Structure 1
Amino acid sequence: MPIFDHLGVTVSDVPRAVAQFDPILSALGFARTDADESVSWYADGETEFIVMPARDPGTGPHRHGRVGWQHLAFAVGSRGDVDRMHRIATDAGWTVVREPKEYPRFTDRYYASFLEDDNGIRIEFMHNPPRESD
């Protein structure tokens, strides 16, 4: 059973959000399904990520640090994958919050980048391999 079943994100412009999320989620192995007003991506046929239009137009963008979404971290297999996903996101129009780098304040192995889309939705690509056993 997946840790979460689905995650829905409200956006101001669904086609623009799709243009920004699709390259990332496709590169991570999610399969896309379009509906009338929303778009979903599925991982392993179960876990779903959904973008849908805001009920109240003009209420965005989300501001990082306010109540609500903080960020979603995508764990990837290597530092190279962090760099690759970062490039895919910037090519899709995401704004760089923090370039890929080490974050020793988390662990001595933590390497990540942070980006934000037009809606103020923040994501992270991170690699934090297990500590080598002695």
Structure 2
Amino acid sequence: MSGLHHIEVWVDDLDGAISSWGWLLERLGYAVTAQWPGGASWGDGGAYITLTTSPNLADAAHDRRRSGVNHLAFLGGTRAEVDAVMREAPGRGWTPLYSERYPHAGGPDHYAGWIENAAGFKVEIVAEAP
């Protein structure tokens, strides 16, 4: 058996992460499945995503350009749905990336948007094939 079970993201500012990530995950169809003083999880019936307060606060800021995970890519539905997420994202704590090449920054046959939150986490929202 193969497949992704869950992703755990350690964050310095849990409230800020829940504000930006929570909006995005719920906008993409995930629902809160658990909450506790140091974190929260969102799921969609399959793999789930957990945000947890890092045990090493202030050791070093997150830098997606260093070794490790660069970004997470989520299915965003139709092209119109991806466009809607990209329009709403700036008001929810996310900064669009590669705007000058949107929606084809990944190539002419790849319709997606990239956003980054204040903590430096990058997310790609990918449209289904037309």
Q: TM-score, normalised by structure 1?
A: 0.83
Partner of 1:58: 58
Contact 2:14 2:51 in 1 (8 A): yes
Contact 1:12 1:60 in 2 (8 A): no
Partner of 1:35: 36
| The structure with more radius of gyration | 1
Partner of 1:3: 3
Quote the sequence identity (%): 27
After the TM superposition, which residues 59-78 of structure 1 pair with which residues of structure 2 at under 5 Å, given as runs? 59-78=59-78
Aligned partners of 1:60 and 1:40: how far apart in 2?
A: 24
Runs of at least 5 residues in structure 2 that lack an aligned partner in the other structure:
none
Of the three residues 89, 100, 103, the one matched with 1:101 is 103
Aligned partner letter, 1:39: A
Aligned partners of 1:128 and 1:115: how far apart in 2?
A: 18
Aligned partner letter, 1:63: D
Change (3 A) 1:98 1:104: closer
Q: SS of the counterpart of 1:76?
A: strand
Runs of at least 5 residues in structure 1 that lack an aligned partner in the other structure:
none
Partner of 2:82: 82
Aligned partners of 2:71 and 2:88: how far apart in 1?
A: 18
After the TM superposition, which residues 10-29 of structure 1 pair with which residues of structure 2 at under 5 Å, given as runs? 10-29=10-29
Change (3 A) 1:75 1:2: farther
Q: What is the aligned length?
A: 127
Q: After TM superposition, what 4+ stretches of structure 1 lie above 4 angstroms from structure 2?
A: none
